[in-house]
Structure 1
Amino acid sequence: MKNLEINAKLQIAKPRNEVFDAIIDPEKMSNYFISPGADKMEEGKSVIWGFPEFPDMKIDVKILKLKIPELIIFEWEGSKDRDLEVKIELEERPNNQTLVKLTEGKMEPNEEGITWLGRNTEGWANFLACMKAYLEFGINLREGGFDFMKKPE
Structure 2
Amino acid sequence: MDLKFTVSARIARPVADVFEAVADPAILSEYFTTGGAKGRLETGATVLWEFADFPGAFPVDVVEVVPNEKIVLRWEAGDGREDHEAGTWERGGYQTTVTMTFKPLDGDTRTLVEISEEGWRETEGGLQASYGNCMGWSQMLAAMKAWVEHRINLRAGMYK
Alignment TM-score, normalising by the size of structure 1: 0.89
Q: What 5-or-longer segments of structure 1 have no aligned partner?
A: 148-153
Per the alignment, residue 90 of structure 1 pairs with 102
Q: Percent identity?
A: 30
Structure 2: distance between partners of 1:141 and 1:111:
30
Structure number with the higher strand fraction is 2
- Decide which moves more: 134-143 or 77-86: 77-86
Deviation of the 1:40 alpha carbon: 1.1
Structure 2: distance between partners of 1:117 and 1:41:
23
Per the alignment, residue 143 of structure 2 pairs with 130
Write out aligned runs for 1:1-150 (5 A): 2-34=1-33, 35-36=35-36, 38-54=38-54, 56-79=55-78, 80-95=92-107, 96-147=109-160
Structure 1: distance between partners of 2:30 and 2:154:
9
Deviation of the 1:138 alpha carbon: 0.3
RMSD: 1.4
Structure 2: distance between partners of 1:127 and 1:37:
14
Q: Aligned residues, how many?
A: 145
Does the CA contact (< 8 Å) of 1:6 and 1:120 recur in 2? Answer: no
Deviation of the 1:106 alpha carbon: 2.4
Please state whether the residue corresponding to 1:50 is helix, strand or coil: strand
Does the CA contact (< 8 Å) of 2:28 and 2:37 recur in 1? Answer: no
Structure 2: distance between partners of 1:3 and 1:60:
24
Structure 1: distance between partners of 2:30 and 2:56:
18
CA deviations on 1:68-95 (whole Å, 9 max, x unpaired) are 1110001001322221110000011115
4+ runs of 1 displaced by more than 4 Å? none
Structure 2: distance between partners of 1:78 and 1:5:
12
Alignment TM-score, normalising by the size of structure 2: 0.85
CA deviations on 1:83-125 (whole Å, 9 max, x unpaired) are 1110000011115110000100122443112201211111000
Please state whether the residue corresponding to 1:130 is helix, strand or coil: helix
Q: What 5-or-longer segments of structure 2 have no aligned partner?
A: 79-91
Deviation of the 1:31 alpha carbon: 0.7
Structure 1: distance between partners of 2:146 and 2:100:
18
